[in-house]
Amino acid sequence: AQSVTQPDIHITVSEGASLELRCNYSYGATPYLFWYVQSPGQGLQLLLKYFSGDTLVQGIKGFEAEFKRSQSSFNLRKPSVHWSDAAEYFCAVGNQAGTALIFGKGTTLSVSS
Amino acid sequence: EAGVTQSPTHLIKTRGQQVTLRCSPISGHTSVYWYQQALGLGLQFLLWYDEGEERNRGNFPPRFSGRQFPNYSSELNVNALELEDSALYLCASSLRDRAYGYTFGSGTRLTVV
């Protein structure tokens, strides 16, 4: 079955520290992979996406993610977290055919001072 | 460029009533997706419209329906509202080339009392 797993429900990171949010997927076809961020009561903002090419992709707000096919993972990283990064982060998988994105349950990021 | 717009932003309805939510995709986007984000349940796929046709639907009862108009805007209709329909309803749009990603609106917050 197609699925996305985000193992960490809630993560707290100190401001200025590095961040890694984990995402594992199970998908039969060649996946398109996405990370979205959602602030409370808001819609989803696309941070970055991967569909082919360089497995390390850069996104907005200083985020990056690395696609590892052998591990079926697409982990999100940021070298130095800012208080404004506190939000919920969703990993999602799709494909070129346009089948609806499948989302993970999300990881809530808290940033401590 | 205008983003995906959804209306209304908030809505309160009584159990048993009917509701219509609206979504205008980004200009040039032909696909529209509807998601339900209920508390604690993550993002659940509802419906996918492309070129005016329903392409797929998620595991929701038939009282959830919709349509896509010739200008690619879309409506989501929910009949016989139940308390558990209270959620944030998100609309997303995409180009035919999904590698460009999916853009989400800010959602409609539906409260059923």
Interface of B with A (CB under 8 A): 4, 6, 31, 33, 35, 42-43, 45, 48, 50, 55-56, 58, 88, 90, 92, 94, 96-99, 101-107, 109
Searching chain A, which residue's CA lies closest to the CA of residue B41?
A105
Average model confidence (pLDDT) across chain A: 93
More confident residue, A43 or B4: B4
Mind telling me how many Å the CA of A15 is from chain B's nearest CA? 27
Give the closest of A44, A96, A99 to B104, CB-based: A44
State residue A88's pLDDT score: 96
Whether the per-residue pLDDT at A10 is higher than 80: the answer is yes
State residue A36's pLDDT score: 97
Q: What would the 3-class secondary structure string for B25-84 be?
A: CCCCCCEEEEEEEECCCEEEEEEEEECCEEEEECCCCCCEEEEECCCCCEEEEECCCCHH
Tell me if A100 and B56 make a contact (CB, 8 A cut-off).
Answer: yes
Whether the per-residue pLDDT at B90 is higher than 90: the answer is yes
- Tens of pLDDT, residue by residue over A27-61, are 877 789 999 999 987 889 999 999 888 899 999 99
Question: What average pLDDT does the segment A100-111 reach?
Answer: 94
